[in-house]
Amino acid sequence: MIVVMDSGAGEEEIGEVEKRIKSFGYDVHRSNGVNCTILGAIGYPREDVRDALEVMPSVEKVVLVSHPFMLVSREFKKDKTAFKVGEVEIGGEKIVLMAGPCAVEGRESYLQAAEAVKKGGADILRGGAYKPRTSPYSFQGLEEEGLKIMAEAREMTGLPIITEVLDQHSIEIVVRYADIIQVGTRNMQNFKLLRELGQINKPVLIKRGMSATIEEWLMAAEYLLSSGNYQVILCERGIRTFETYTRYTMDISAIPIVKELSHLPVFVDPSHGTGKWKWVPSMSLAAVAAGADGLLVEVHPSPKEALCDGPQSLVPEKYSQMIGSLRGVAQIIGRTL
């Protein structure tokens, strides 16, 4: 349930309502807006509880949420969520570009890629230091050495960095270096990991599971918000279907659907979504036109020599060309790039 407080309600009155909600066995999450305070009553919605809360003088209204996800829903927060990572605003008017190699393979190649994407217009550097791979024989990442290289690239370019956390054991070290924490598709329903990430004071980007429904994806984000972290980014990265011509099926329709259901910013990863670099520009254009708040694109100075996902990585020149095309689409829909 969502309890909307009267705009004139003071701290004491809000506290009384919180106490009443808890008396019915619910947990409470507070959202302080510009004009009013909203309280989320976490638990099964009951009409008798709604009626009991609505008669309290400081309560404007109580809404029985129609979705199993509550804190991420538009019913809980009508205005879209926006927050800053350094000087970069996530979820604002500007479409945010995250770019870089899939994995940090070495210092020289990563710094070269970082310089190239910075020049091409990237806002945030991406790169994997811990790589969950399907095969145990594939490159698994440089771990802390990779994180140190990313930190050096941040100092060199001035761009924040995003990297993936592998499990609960790697949270502490990744948080020490990264500005944004990425939850990969294989960990979308690692609920213990999500609960722990919900307690950190850094933004978390959560990728849609490769076989996850939209509701399951939003429920995964609910774990983060219900644990206290409201700086969450949703990332569509393609889903597994019967089609084999592409690596995954890029679900462009998920963008407007999720933006209608949720207040959280929505990003798109067209590199994993297609698996082939030549389709990344067209899917990026489609994503921006559909309302995406940002893109997560893989860029590598020499894709043929990449240790991870070379076939889906753009060379810096192609990336720069794509950004030029994206600016025109962004302008048409009233946004900047």
pTM: 0.90
Q: Is the pLDDT of residue 171 over 80?
A: yes
In this structure, the answer to whether residues 40 and 108 fall within a common structural domain is no
Residue count of the chain, please give it: 337
Q: What is the mean predicted confidence (pLDDT) over 234-245?
A: 96
Question: Is there a domain that residue 216 lies in?
Answer: yes
Q: What is the mean predicted confidence (pLDDT) over 31-43?
A: 80
The domain that contains 7 carries what CATH number? Answer: 3.30.70.1140
Please write the tens of the pLDDT for every residue from 269-286: 999 999 999 999 999 999
Question: Is there a domain that residue 30 lies in?
Answer: yes
In this structure, the answer to whether residues 50 and 108 fall within a common structural domain is no
Provide the Cα torsion 290, 296, 298, 301; round to 10°.
110
pLDDT of residue 135: 79
Report yes or no: 320 and 120 within 8 Å, Cβ to Cβ. Answer: yes
* Domain range enclosing 53: 2-63
Q: Is residue 324 classed exposed, middle or buried when 0-12, 13-18 and 19+ CB atoms within 10 A define those classes?
A: exposed
Question: Is there a domain that residue 68 lies in?
Answer: no
Report yes or no: 247 and 312 within 8 Å, Cβ to Cβ. Answer: yes
Question: Is there a domain that residue 74 lies in?
Answer: no
Please name which of 309, 315, 337 lies closest in space to residue 127, comparing C-alpha atoms.
309
Token code pair at residue 152? 């050096």
| Residue 299 β-bridge partners | 314
Average pLDDT, the chain: 93
pLDDT of residue 165: 95
H/E element holding 88? strand 88-90
Residues 6+ away with beta carbon under 8 Å from 227: 194, 195, 196, 197, 198, 199
In this structure, the answer to whether residues 283 and 235 fall within a common structural domain is yes
In this structure, the answer to whether residues 324 and 178 fall within a common structural domain is yes
The domain that contains 279 carries what CATH number? Answer: 3.20.20.70
| Residue 207 β-bridge partners | 235
Question: Is there a domain that residue 71 lies in?
Answer: no
Ramachandran angles phi, psi of 38, nearest 5° = -115, 135
- How many domains, the chain? 2
In this structure, the answer to whether residues 56 and 180 fall within a common structural domain is no
Does residue 314 or residue 142 have the better pLDDT? 314
